[in-house]
Homo-oligomer: A and B are copies of this chain.
């Protein structure tokens, strides 16, 4: 229960800050603020920003100082979902139990809302002033590189180009390391950087997130097969429909479950050198291991 309370507290911090950063603005371009808020405030686990705040605290920093960077990461995650859902990309109609952004606001506005969120991520981090400029610049660099063509965007490219092709396990892992892994790692790394952590601690949180990200992705692939639309709030079976290679096309359900467990344990071991405050991140890893959505 302590974990759930702590998660809820952090989630509330993030929800409030996200809503403040993208206010319901009634000017000439008010539509884009509604479109951005529609997807940004549609709920979700806020996993990435929560990890960043917890990583910051684990390294002795204040969650408030990491908050702008955590919100930026969630904006980047959200923009990627909006663009991913577009007809030219995955062509999804449903996301988090609601019509996708382009279904609600039209394609042009959805493209711009995505652009607006990516852009806003850098506005708020450059304007944040919660940490010295040297630290902020380093954090922005990590975020930008994680979300770029050698990170998340690169992963989306590989994903799209291989939709109807079979990938090997190595190729699949490379794809995920970019598409979803890079920004999860950035959560841990930026949290540590904001706290002023030394290189060893930054590395430990990077390792935690790296392994957690893999476990998370395999669980996603499992849920796309065995989950329910009601639990997930999105169309299931879309991987198979798009003929995408997933962990479940390369191994059995049992093997996949066992991999989730193994990577979760690896994530937990990465935190060995930290004190008792690490318990919350350990609980989080175990919680995600069993998630239904």
Contact = CB atoms under 8 A, between A and B. Distances in A.
Given A83-B111, A108-B88, A137-B126, A32 B144 contact: no
B137 A119 contact: no
A196 interface: no
Interface string A124-163: 0011000011101110110011011110011111101100
A31 interface: yes
Nearest to A135: B133
A281 interface: no
Copies of this chain, whole number: 2
Chain A interface size, as a band, is: 35 or more
Given A108-B160, A154-B32, A122 B122 contact: yes
A88 B107 contact: yes
B119 A153 contact: yes
A157 B112 contact: yes
Given A28-B175, A29-B155, A88-B107, 18 more contacts: A27-B154, A29-B153, A29-B154, A32-B154, A33-B149, A79-B115, A89-B111, A111-B111, A112-B153, A119-B144, A119-B147, A122-B122, A122-B140, A123-B148, A126-B140, A126-B141, A132-B133, A136-B137
Interface of A: 25, 27-29, 31-33, 36, 79, 83, 86, 88-89, 106-109, 111-112, 114-116, 118-120, 122-123, 126-127, 132-134, 136-138, 140-141, 144-145, 147-150, 153-158, 160-161, 171, 174-175, 178
